[in-house]
Structure 1
Amino acid sequence: MKFKFNYFPFTPRREQDRFLSDARTAINNGEILIAQAPTGLGKTSASLAPAVEYALHNRKKVFFATSKNSQHKMAIKTLRLIKEKFNLDLKVISLVGKQHLCPLITKKVRNFNAFCDVRRDSCKYHNNHKNQTNRAIKEIFDTPLQAEDVKQICMEYGACAHEVLTSIVKYADVVVCDYNHIFQPSIRELVLKGMELKDIILIVDEAHNLPQRARDLLSDRINANVIKGAIEEAKVLEYDRLEGTLTNILLFLRELVTDLDEDDEKYVDKEAFIQEIERITTQKLDDFIEMLHDVGIDVLNLGREFSYIERMAEFLNRWESSNGQFCRYIRDLELCCISLDPGILTQDVFSKVYSGILMSATLTPVHMYTELLGLPERTIEKEYRSPFPRENQFIVVTPDVTTRYVKRSDEMYQKYTDKIVGVVNVTRGNSAVFFPSYEFMNRVFEGLNGQVKKRILMEQPSMTKEEKEDLLNEINGDNSVLLLGVMGGSLSEGIDLSGNLLHSVIIVGIPLIPPNLEVKSLVDYYENKFNRGWDYGYYYPAMNKILQSAGRCIRSESDKAAIILMDERITWDKYRRCLPVGFYGLRLVDPSGSIDKFFEHHFG
């Protein structure tokens, strides 16, 4: 059935109308559209509107999957606008992690599913949810709600929000969810409950994150502290034999690293490891894993929120069930089982959904993501230009500086400090600097402190959602802040800095990952499968982190900002070719004087 309805809630802008048309065509033809579309194009509304148009009149269901809380909220806001503007009977639900919906949790629980399973029979919300479901559903379906609003409604009715939501997925027209809900097989089975992928229009937002997220879902790692925790649990339960067995497994782990220096690593053979575990335990690995699961329940029944023994069972199960597309290694008493192929999870999903849209501002090159994710032949690849005036942004590369390890010195750190100070102090408004690592950021910070004319705010490793929001709130309403962050960190993507909050963004270096065993395995695997090992496994991922960080400043057609790439390697061919069309023609320029003219022109 072709489109007879138009539920797009705005007047399409330049380039946005192309995206909207391509999305409608792809959905109508049952195709997969993978689109690189710049920040500010309006991808959320331009993908949701045609998906809703088709789904409501063709018995399809829309799943909007995103890895970022800010995009989750934007999708709900957009759907509310569509429903109200066109007076639609549109049923929308917002699915987030099970733990985030639980009113009994005040802090993060490391293995919430096991925690919940043990307490299910005594949970007042679980036992009450069937009696209160209908009353809660009416409010949930009345208007598209954010997850925290759904949680509050269910609390008021004494119902389990997670059970209410998963029970009504089949009645919803649109489900806004996390990647896990559609790409993690066991969670997908729980969510769909008999529904088929062929009836789903799948939209994947921030799709550049999907390959790594899929690999993470398949990967696992365990360290000596987990085994020590398991030994302590066995001691508390007075399971003496298990305590001895776990102690011997810890000794085996230590033997594996006796020939390694600190921070060194080595491959671990899958079958040889299994054989040694079976020798230590005197039983088949499957039987040992089953026993660990049972004991893990005993630990949780003691009232603990987490079981190290259960955690060991999960890791050993992953180790045994993983196939050849994995890198297995040990480093610093941490044993790792890392997936190399995201397509193991994604290929089957995209081959079965009715239609799909994958979109991001940093899908460079688009065909790489098509290959990595195993997208089917019905996939259409598209790239869109920025709808914003080119004169509103000033992009240059700074000469004479690089973060190459062999070039790092006190002199080089000082050069970076001087050049950053020069740019920040002529920027008329807030600035942000993104570094390749926390170590590099801290080193340069020592020189910046006291020299810049702005208040410095710094990203910290493993920031909580609340800490990140507090930091961003400090920027709002201030016009003299210098934000320091790390490429690939909490602040380089997935945050909303709208309203031209940043007038300059400085990118320090290229965030290349040290070529460790995981990277080498990834490069080798992609070379064998795609003949593009170093590109797909090394260069493009680093350059896409640069693009994500650079995208923090230009968020609308009225925003104006300078982007300074501080590493001369950016102009080298192997790096420059990784950049999209908007970055072509880069010049090596000492930036401070040129930027002063840019700000004089735009801000007077």
Structure 2
Amino acid sequence: MEKSQIKISIRNLVELVLRSGDIDNRLVSSTRMLEGTRIHQRIQKEGGSNYNKEVFLSFDYEIQGFSIRLEGRADGIITEPDGIVIDEIKSTTRPLEYIDEDFSLLHWAQAKCYAFIYAAQNEMEQITVQLTYFHVDTEERMNIRKQFSFSQLEEFMDDLMNKYFIWASMQHEWNTLRDISIKDLQFPFEVYRKGQRELAVAVYKTIMQEKKLFVQAPTGIGKTISTLFPSVKAVGEQHISKIFYLTAKTITRQVAEEAFTKMRSKGLRFRTITLTAKDKICFNKEGSCNPDYCEYAKGHYNRVNEALTDILRDTEYFSRETIEEYALKHNVCPFEFALDLSLWADCIICDYNYVFDPRVYLKRFFMNNEGDYAFLIDEAHNLVDRAREMFSAQINKVAFYEAKKLMKDKQPKIAKQLTKINSYMIALRKQCNEDGFMVSKEQLTDLYKLLNNFIRESEEWILRNQSNNIEGFDLVLEVYFNAISFVKIAELYDERYVTFIDTYSSEVRVKLFCIDPSYLLSEAVKRGKTAVFFSATLTPLSYFMEVLGGEKEDYNINLTSPFDNKKLCLLVEDKISTKFKNRENSYDKIAELIKAAIDKKQGNYMVYFPSYKYMNEVYTRFTEKYPYIETLLQQSSMTEEEREEFLNKFLPNNEQIFVCFCVLGGIFSEGIDLKGDRLIGAIIVGVGLPQVSAEQNIILNYFQQKNGMGYENAYMFPGMNKVLQAAGRVIRSENDTGLVLLIDERFSHYEYKCLFPKHWEHSVRVKSLPDLEQKLERFWGGK
């Protein structure tokens, strides 16, 4: 009989079984992350030809009918005349005189695991283990060596694996239960909608072949269930071990959760977790992971395994509320608890940054870039701008200047470093052109050195004073972390970046701007086995495939709407120009068009504008002329409660006319689901072009050189995606009927018509106001 196999990384194994004590994320870990890779590379390089670096090791450990696959990378394996040495490198800010061979049980345990595997596979009777501690400030290093016989290492591993066995058997029981339920699972709806089976089959084949798939599938097909169902089946067949469902918005996370609820109602057993940002879920409103000030951080690791056992026994749906409930019960940090729990989940529902952001991605899953995971990337059109944001970094002169003033008397050495950075940025301002900005392909290596000096100089002071209530501490800390982020992103800088410097008033901003995120996204996707990018608006598909890191051999599919297009009245008013220079002449005409469009049917409408100014100008005229019509205006900054209140105004069966004025590309133009007659019409003013800016023009120039499609990449394609998203709010199910009116002369231009999806082929031009009224009368009269 074949033994059941469970896979675990050596690092996760050691931490799970042996950890204890407090969470203490006060700075040390952030610096180690910054310096760690560089220090490892330096020590490995200095090791010479006898130093074999980053050696991947795996071992199948047999225990009580189980085969447990242990995997990890040894920092170094050194060949010496006296034998083999396993090297484990650790960077530290603690003075080396405080470090001895008993400093860290976990460090020894990890290194001994590598030594055991290497000795077992090479039939060695003894082997040496070395811990190399490198002080990040002084650059001093300390080597601590111990020699072990194979029998000593075997005894250590037996003890470690016996402790882990309870977790392994618990995981095995769950996997068996889960896989049986998956085998019996049927598609959770009675019938597939048009295009739904095609999408599910395409996703399954993509996972089997370990490829990438790009999907444009209009609203209503049921993209979430059609991607999750085949992925769940692939987990049951051991093609993948875990699903990451990645989203940009809370509402799409909820849709994924609802899909699992639906599958569970059909018998599925599947552990799912929704990760919540640390600042939202933290119980300690100070937000400091300091055991002196947070009862949940103090002793967290002494209690967390009991909390894990408890929640894993009781439930398989780890929502934010459930995580908070068990974290309070066991007095543990809810954020760290959730991250630990994610190791036991079959599907992780989370924001894009947990997989893609180089500063915060989940290292526990992606250390080796060899995870057998499927990435399902929802609303993938949002990933373009989000990726540019994640792979870019900026610093501001004023923050350094303010920090310098605060440090002048408290810590002159830090103030000196801040003064140098401030002076450097003043010099940059003088190099800017008359428009106040400068774009360069060159890296500011002198600035990186200054920032690194500031980081090193300020760290000790921050460490010493983070428990004290010192005026200005938070500002210095913020500047410190911004400097770390900037230097980290600088390591990614290549031909797809520019250095962008802009000035206003006394401010100077230096930005490492990732114009083209395609390469970094394609590298990040390699952290898993397969990826599916899907959205209702990946138009044109070729553009999104290129900018999201697709390759020629990747798959794509463009599905048509499953709904009867006769239920969508799609009209184009192409005699009004909404270009910036012509807007002033359009305000009154657009107010009249809105009135004509809403006059033939009572109910709820949304009108979308390219800017707040445009929206407010038309809103003022509309409400003055038609004060008896109920209206609502989107505000520029709204809380979650205000957004909820806004959407609650869209009542079903409304027997009055109700018109909301919104901004295209804003919070109410995508990701909201007003089903039935809660929204019966959308009037879209303009083609959605991003505001002309230096940054958009940088994108334009880059892609003009790359593929001759600068304007399309920088302005036209992003704009039309906003239009398509807003229009998609109207028809949400097969029972919906509604109007979309597009207002702009450019909607009849060939290059824009080419971007209309297939289910817009029946669009009709409006010749005049009376013509609009007649068309709407016929449309609504037939309903």
Counterpart code for 2:480: E
Distance 1:245 1:363 in 2: 47
1:577 corresponds to 2:762: no
Q: Which residue of 1 aligns with 2:502?
A: 330
Q: Which residue of 2 aligns with 1:309?
A: 479
Describe the superposition over 1:234-288 as per-residue Cα deviations: whole angstroms up to 9, x where unpaired.
Answer: 25x71245446545644654565568799x342154758554x58xxxx754223
Match of 2:298 among 127, 136, 145: 127
1:379 corresponds to 2:554: yes
Deviation (angstroms), 1:72? 0.5
Distance 1:534 1:482 in 2: 33
Q: Check the 8 A contact 1:437/1:511 in 2, yes or no.
A: no
Deviation (angstroms), 1:502? 0.9
Q: Which residue of 1 aligns with 2:253?
A: 72
Distance 2:261 2:204 in 1: 20
Describe the superposition over 1:417-472 as per-residue Cα deviations: whole angstroms up to 9, x where unpaired.
Answer: 21122223334200101110111111111111243443222222233323212211
Structure 1 residues 300 and 261: CA distance shift in structure 2, 3 A: farther
Q: Which residue of 2 aligns with 1:8?
A: 187
Which has the higher relative contact order, 1 or 2, with Cα contacts under 8 A spaced 6 or more apart?
1
Q: Which residue of 1 aligns with 2:452?
A: 286
Describe the superposition over 1:123-155 as per-residue Cα deviations: whole angstroms up to 9, x where unpaired.
Answer: 211234431443455436613243244223322
Matched residue of 1:89: which SS? Answer: coil
Q: Which has the higher helix share?
A: 1
Please list every run of 5 or more consecutive structure 1 residues that lacks an aligned counterpart in the other structure: 110-114
Describe the superposition over 1:159-201 as per-residue Cα deviations: whole angstroms up to 9, x where unpaired.
Answer: 2122112113222211111101111234334341657544101
Please list every run of 5 or more consecutive structure 2 residues that lacks an aligned counterpart in the other structure: 1-178
Q: Check the 8 A contact 1:44/1:75 in 2, yes or no.
A: yes
1:503 corresponds to 2:676: no
Q: Check the 8 A contact 2:271/2:318 in 1, yes or no.
A: no
Q: Which residue of 1 aligns with 2:155?
A: none
1:340 corresponds to 2:515: yes
Matched residue of 1:359: which SS? Answer: strand
Matched residue of 2:194: which SS? Answer: coil
Counterpart code for 1:408: R
Q: Check the 8 A contact 1:80/1:143 in 2, yes or no.
A: no
1:475 corresponds to 2:650: yes
Distance 1:12 1:234 in 2: 65
Structure 1 residues 372 and 158: CA distance shift in structure 2, 3 A: same
Q: Which residue of 2 aligns with 1:205?
A: 378
Asked which structure has the greater CA Rg, the reply is: 2
Distance 1:23 1:204 in 2: 12
Q: How does 1:402-551 map to 2 (within 5 A)?
A: 402-409=577-584, 411-452=585-626, 453-476=628-651, 479=654, 480-551=657-728
Describe the superposition over 1:316-352 as per-residue Cα deviations: whole angstroms up to 9, x where unpaired.
Answer: 4257433332231213233333211212431013345
TM-score, with normalisation over the residues of structure 1?
0.88
Match of 2:320 among 147, 157, 178: 147
Distance 2:555 2:389 in 1: 26
Describe the superposition over 1:299-332 as per-residue Cα deviations: whole angstroms up to 9, x where unpaired.
Answer: 6444465634324423542574333322312132
Structure 1 residues 298 and 223: CA distance shift in structure 2, 3 A: farther
Deviation (angstroms), 1:501? 1.2
Q: Check the 8 A contact 1:202/1:355 in 2, yes or no.
A: yes
Distance 1:126 1:437 in 2: 45
Distance 1:319 1:77 in 2: 37
1:81 corresponds to 2:258: no
Q: Which residue of 1 aligns with 2:152?
A: none
Q: How does 1:263-274 map to 2 (within 5 A)?
A: 264-269=435-440, 273-274=444-445
Describe the superposition over 1:76-117 as per-residue Cα deviations: whole angstroms up to 9, x where unpaired.
Answer: 12112212312x331111112122221223xxx8xxxxx535
Distance 1:597 1:186 in 2: 56
Matched residue of 1:388: which SS? Answer: coil
Distance 2:263 2:550 in 1: 30
Q: Check the 8 A contact 1:136/1:154 in 2, yes or no.
A: no
Structure 1 residues 414 and 320: CA distance shift in structure 2, 3 A: same
Distance 2:723 2:212 in 1: 27
Q: Check the 8 A contact 1:289/1:313 in 2, yes or no.
A: yes
Q: Check the 8 A contact 1:329/1:517 in 2, yes or no.
A: no
Number of residue-to-residue matches in the alignment: 583
Counterpart code for 2:403: A
Deviation (angstroms), 1:120? 4.8
Matched residue of 1:14: which SS? Answer: coil
Deviation (angstroms), 1:572? 0.5
Match of 1:594 among 768, 775, 783: 775
Matched residue of 1:104: which SS? Answer: coil
- 70-79 vs 240-249, greater mean Cα deviation: 240-249
Q: Check the 8 A contact 1:509/1:566 in 2, yes or no.
A: yes
Counterpart code for 1:89: R
Counterpart code for 2:659: L
Counterpart code for 1:571: S
Q: Check the 8 A contact 1:295/1:310 in 2, yes or no.
A: no
Q: Check the 8 A contact 1:519/1:537 in 2, yes or no.
A: yes
Distance 2:653 2:279 in 1: 35
Distance 2:693 2:433 in 1: 14
Q: How does 1:226-265 map to 2 (within 5 A)?
A: 226-235=399-408, 238-243=410-415, 246=418, 249-250=421-422, 253=425, 256-257=428-429, 264-265=435-436
Counterpart code for 2:502: I
Structure 1 residues 285 and 305: CA distance shift in structure 2, 3 A: closer
Structure 1 residues 251 and 350: CA distance shift in structure 2, 3 A: closer
Distance 2:282 2:297 in 1: 10
Q: Check the 8 A contact 2:271/2:346 in 1, yes or no.
A: yes
Q: Check the 8 A contact 2:518/2:548 in 1, yes or no.
A: yes
Distance 1:463 1:191 in 2: 35
Q: Which residue of 1 aligns with 2:156?
A: none
Structure 1 residues 193 and 312: CA distance shift in structure 2, 3 A: closer
Quote the RMSD (CA, aligned, Å): 2.9
Deviation (angstroms), 1:596? 3.2
Deviation (angstroms), 1:15? 1.6
- 187-196 vs 42-51, greater mean Cα deviation: 187-196
Q: Which has the higher strand share?
A: 2
Structure 1 residues 249 and 384: CA distance shift in structure 2, 3 A: same
Aligned-pair identity in percent equals 27
Counterpart code for 2:663: V
Q: Which residue of 2 aligns with 1:116?
A: 288
Counterpart code for 1:345: L
Counterpart code for 1:239: Q
Deviation (angstroms), 1:523? 2.0
